[in-house]
Every structure is written in structure tokens, then in C-alpha cells.
Structure 1
Amino acid sequence: MIQKRSGEPMQMIENLMFPFRFQDTGFPDLSDLALEADRLRPWISQIEEPLGVVAPANAEPFCCYIRTVVFYGPQSAEFGRCETRLQINDVLRVGDDRWQVWSGEVAWLRGAWRMVWQLKKYDETQRRVV
């Protein structure tokens, strides 16, 4: 069962693979996103990131270049592309908890394309996923 944890501020604090990722640009604004915690497995959660691309529901999404999603149609015609704000190994702070982005998939949900990110609770003191 998924329970939304809206209202708690979410802040990106680092990327474990690319520590200098935000050196020039700063951290992205995540104020429109909400963590959805799994009540049966409290160490797992997910975030739906709207992609804001104009592509039909029957497009074929292809993830490449770490944060780029390209949408293809018939005969490999490109419908559009976008960049995600989150990527694998980002660490987020939500309230007193830390969460590591673990995986993601592009999905057509509620009439729009979204990246559905899976997160696992992160233990900062031991620098490992719980």
C-alpha cells in the first residue's frame, strides 16, 4: 500500500556517483514532487516526476545519457525529448529521512508521461542503502 507524504519538504543533497554534478547549476527544485512511501515496506518509496514532453501515449520512450528520455514513433521518428531532474544515485532528504534513487522507468500515467523513480532508505552514516 502506497501512502503519499506530501507537505514534507524534499531536498536533493548529493549524487553518490557524480559528486560534482551540481557544482555549476545548483540543486534542482523538487517542490512539485511528493514521496510516496510503501507502508508495508517502509524502506521503499517512489516519486513520480512529470516529464513535460509532448508525445502521444503510443510513443516508445528510450532512456539514454543518464538523464535524457527520447520518445520515438513509427519508423523511428522522434516525437520529442526531455531531461529528468533526478537520476540514479541521487540522495534526497525528506523530513529526517534520506532516500537514494535506485531505479526508474518511464510510464504513461493519468494522461501524461512520467518518470517513476524507485527509492530506498539511505543510511548516511554508513554510506550504504539500508
Structure 2
Amino acid sequence: MFNLDDCIGIITSRGTKHIVDAFSSRLAAYNITRVQWIALYYIGRSEGITQKELAEEMDLKESTVARLIDRLEKENTVLRIKDKKDRRVTNLYLTEEGREKREALMPLGETFSKDGIKGISEKDLDTFKEVLNKIVLNVTEKVE
């Protein structure tokens, strides 16, 4: 008989909720959301990234990213600059304040990740990632 508690969707959903909540609470002390932190990561990693590319990286709708960038711009952490070759394209850059904030906050993610995998072998982690990626492929193939 089907048991919802054994359903991989429920197990991963519960796990994700706890992980997201825990990381969000650590970031709250720095007055930044998890989604803003992720955006700073990607923009800093690829200066000049377009809003469309950022939306793809973050797996968000472009309209959601536009609102996110509005907030980051108001906080003086991100600049929007029109592309010189194609004025329809907007490139994203960190301000000096944005770079400083990113540098200060990225170690939080690294520490959080290390805390989360403490006591788990490299082999088990590799297996977990491999299996989870296969599950994602299986369910996205059915949807598309």
C-alpha cells in the first residue's frame, strides 16, 4: 500500500524546507534573504550576466528576477547597465557595496554546507547527488 511518508517528493520537500529555513535564519541576521544571497553569488561570479541568464541560473521567472534586482538596486548592491551592443539587453554588476556584502556573506554558505554534510562520507555524498539528479531527470522527462 502507498505510504505518503515514503514518497520521495515528500521526503525531499520536507528536507528542503528545513534546510531553507535554517539557512534563511542565519542570513536574517545580515538583513538579506536567501534569494538575494544567491543572486549576489551569481552576479559576482559572472559580472555582466544578463537578467535572463540570472533567471535561468536561479531557476526563476524573469519577472521575479526583475523585482529582485529592483530591490538589490535600491539597496545599492547591484547596478543595471544597458548592453552597448544591444540596448534591449540589461547586464548586471555588483556595486562596491555589493562586492563587500558578497565577500562577507559567501563564507556563511560554505560553513552552512559543511555543517550540513558533517559526518557523511564523500562516497555517500556522491551517491546522494547522483541519485537525486537521476530522480530530477526522471520527473522532468515525464512533465516535459
Kindly name which structure, 1 or 2, has the bigger radius of gyration based on alpha carbons: 2
Considering the TM-score relative to the shorter chain, is it more than 0.5? no
TM range (shorter): under 0.3
Which TM-score applies when normalising by structure 2?
Answer: 0.25
Which TM-score applies when normalising by structure 1?
Answer: 0.26
Higher relative contact order (CA 8 A, sep 6+): 1
Q: Which of the pair is proportionally richer in helix?
A: 2
